[in-house]
Structure 1
Amino acid sequence: MSSRKQVFAIFDNADKRQETLPFEKRILTYLDSHNATALVEPEDFNDADFVISMGGDGTFLRAAGRVGNRQIPLLGINMGRLGFLADVLPSEIESTLDRVLSGDYIIEDHTVIKLESDGEEVSCNPFALNDIAVLKRDSASMISIKARVNGDFLVNYRADGLIIATPTGSTAYSLSNGGPIIVPQSGSLCITPVAPHSLNIRPIVINDTGVIELEVESRSHNFLVAVDGRSLKMAEGTRLTIRKAPYTVKIIKLKNRRYFSTLHEKLMWGADNRQ
């Protein structure tokens, strides 16, 4: 009696479908010949054992948003540029699927954070794998953000914005604003200001069990909140709460891939380019 077929859901970037189509065909051919099933852009992922994201890191984040709390492992095939989350090259598709089907991989649990507004869930998907950013809405002036952690006053940020980043998101927007690189599974979050008015306000790393509360004042009387890039307009005076979600995102990693080697390859970490 044959074992149950493994089901792979394929999620791609609709804007680059023509680019990904030849590689999707390779995946379909491979899975069909290895007693596995592929679902291309299904309405939901409920029947999937694995989700394959085909695109860059932005596509991977959208796939993670679709997976939500279902605990389905994600595999990222990099059709973009940097590919920090989507780290499988197109040339490695078949060899990687070989290893996935044989169980030769590890699962990394990545922290997710959740946004609440005045104690209620926000209108869009409130969960972020990378970061939640509070940003000024126009180019006129900075905003003022009063921050508390576990009810204790932290600081009143006067800046263009504030980024709350997970370890996964520490190599994204937060890093470009001077935030530290945080190793996954370190149990931390980073609060990074965007263009702060005061030079003595620096990024701070806190335990990921901490509950962050933010109150925003703005001359334009509104501001933006970006949840993994999904933007919402908020009214001044809205109280935001950011906390760790009750679930993690499971990411497939091959056993020979290590986080620090990825830093070296993708971010040129520690490279000395002096002649």
Structure 2
Amino acid sequence: MARKIANIIHRGGAGKSTNSEMEAYFLATLYNKKTLLVDCDDQADVSRRIKRTFNKTDLEPKKRFMRGIRDFDLSDTIITLHENLDLLQGDWLLENFDDYLKDNVEEKGRFFLFYTLFKELDKHYDYIIFDTKPRTSKITNNVVCASDYVIIPTKVSRGSIEATQRTYNYLADISDYNENIELVGIIPYFESDTSRTDKNFKELKQAFGDDVYKHKLKWSDRVLSWEDEGVTNNALQDKFAIRMFKKVMNETMERIKKIEEANNNGN
């Protein structure tokens, strides 16, 4: 059965889609895990980026995401980018998801449509990675209720720390619908090294303690270039950036391992 990981923060530009892309990239290419990346944002940013990385920009599914939801069958919405990586790409028609739920799903089941849909895909993958909208939405509710783990990527800034707290509170509230959901942690993104950033990081640590990752991410021109060109691993700058993300990915895997060991010991 696939481990399902949701990347969530209720703020745009906090590094959520970058983290979703790099998780899927490393799981497929470094860890040799069969992985499905699911883009639940109607802007489809992570879909465009990951397709550039694997030179599959012209590849399109037989059905779009929202059509697959309406047909209650996602099999024809998935495209293959790499022998270990499939993509369920974002679709601007996902903006109609809330109306679809209201009109077609009974109220008590409106949190669990994705749980049912993705349960059918579990046997085909080791990991399913969800990228979500940068705001509260019914599709994000469905992602949380379908997932095993949540990661909160956040910039180390005042606004993003506040968004992290809102997201943290949101997850606490919605855990009533998925009591098994586990927080892997909070990944800090540094845009610059300044005294203000250091102060913000201390506040982040004070607020969330060990939930904050030990390894940090730093924005760079190389990471920004990946948004336009796809992830590359050729130049020296690429290797530095790849190494940084790899350390974070290794910590993610270690944190998940510890959570599962603790749960198994508890049982």
TM-score bracket for the superposition, by shorter chain length:
0.3 to 0.5
TM-score (norm 2): 0.33
Q: Which structure exhibits the higher relative contact order, with contacts defined as CA atoms closer than 8 Å and separated by 6 or more residues? A: 2
| Bigger proportion of residues as helix | 2
| Bigger proportion of residues as strand | 1
TM-score (norm 1): 0.32
